[in-house]
Amino acid sequence: MSAGWAVRILFAAELLFVASTPCWAQPPSQPLAKQAQPALAQQQTPSTAVALAKESPVPAKAEETAAKNHGYKDKLIITRIDVTPAYGQAAEKPQPLAVGTVLLVREERIVDGELYLQTMGGVLRARDVLLFERAMEIFSVELEAAEAAKKPLGPYYYLRGIIFFKQGEFDRAADEFTQCLATLEKPSPLILNARAEARIEAGNLADAIQDCDEALAIAPKYAPAQASRGWALYEQKKYDAALVDLEKALAIDPVFSKAYLIRSWTHDALGKPELAKADLDKTLELDPLSAAARNSLAWLQAAIPTAKFYDPAAALRLARAACEWDAYRSYQFLDTLAVTQAATGDYAAAVATQTEALKIAPLRKQDELEARLALYQNKQPYKVGM
């Protein structure tokens, strides 16, 4: 892929950084509840979440032909701009995908001379994405070129931060978002929240909360920062305080799916699985493609035998779907998959999966995952409270 082509890739994002605080880096002017919602979120329900793992085919056209191998199939891609899929998941209006969305390609097709890529997020034009494995190299080269030409550097740092985040290198992601913030005349709540999320994943909770506080001081009605602060408090095991922030986030934006997701984790931690399940159902109603919600629902259905929604077979399907979305790169998703495999009696698979999870899990999670591995090696399932 030529450097010149990469320049064109970033041109649209670069234009957004001409202003002192780019328009995309500002929080929305109104809560999502007051904005038009995509038809996908209206039509799909939690009962169809598993079915969404099976991609809908590219609509037939007279000029459609199977594409020769262009190097995208079964690989991860990253959207280079905000993009609406050419075709969606059985929806009249496909769900828009934000810049930096990472997806796994299942099929390639040529339709009327255009190369399309089938993903769980819909069918995308190849020219709107980059191969994830090449993106960091391209953005790094273009960052140097932009710096030499005295062009805005913010979008490069932001996209590099997303790539590091998706690779599980959360400290490096936070560093890139810090560099991005340094290019702006005024702090951006969106970038502050991105850094907060990276810091939460890295276990740097105090600084994450500080980022959220700064974002909320700038934009008091910015629901993502309110929810992220709730997430950080959840990680600190301050569950009651977390619920307060999550309730505030949902009061600002009643259809902010991530707040329901994090609140489900909090209810689960407080020993309230029914409330956790209700929040996960709501998450999937609002965001049927949420891999994190599938993963969390799989955990609930496999790890709490006393719950009336206990269903290890369904949990296994959900866990596999979550892992496939992420190309089996998330230790959390692999950990859940192992729980579901053990719950269905496949202890050999659970041992193999948990071993892979341990290879990529951070040091602070090793003891917890090793304890579950020991259970599977002794042919015992994991149960909440064990």
pLDDT at 51: 35
Low-confidence ranges of the chain (pLDDT < 50): 1-24, 28-63, 90-91
Order across the sheet with 122-125: list the strands. 65-66, 107-111, 114-119, 122-125
Helix/strand/coil (H, E, C) string of 49-92? Answer: CCHHHCCCCCCCCCCCEECCCCCCCCCEEEECCCECCCECCCCC
Read off the pLDDT of residues 237-264 as tens digits, 9 standing for 90 and up: 999 999 999 999 999 999 999 999 999 9
DSSP assignment string, 361-384: S-GGGHHHHHHHHHHHHTT----T
Tell me, what's the pLDDT at 189?
Answer: 96
Structural tokens at position 12: 């649209």
The reported pLDDT for the residue numbered 223 is 97
- 343 vs 323: CA distance, rounded Å: 17
Question: What backbone torsions phi and psi does residue 130 show, to the nearest 5 degrees?
Answer: -125, 150
Domain 290-386 belongs to what architecture?
Answer: Alpha Horseshoe (1.25)
- For the entire predicted model, the pTM comes to 0.77
pLDDT for the residue 67: 58
Q: Which residues of 322-360 are buried (b: 16+ CB within 10 A; e: fewer)?
A: bbbbbbbbbbbbbbbbbbbbbbbebbebbbebbebbbee
Q: How far is CA 288 from the centre of its chain?
A: 13
Task: Please report the pLDDT score of residue 52 as a whole number.
Answer: 33
Q: For residue 36, report the phi and psi dihedrals to the nearest 5 degrees.
A: -65, 130
What ranges do the domains of the chain cover?
3-28+41-132, 290-386
Among 74, 126, 125, 82, which residue's Cα sits nearest to residue 101? 82
- Token look-up 């799916």 returns 257
Backbone φ and ψ of 115, nearest 5°: -85, 125
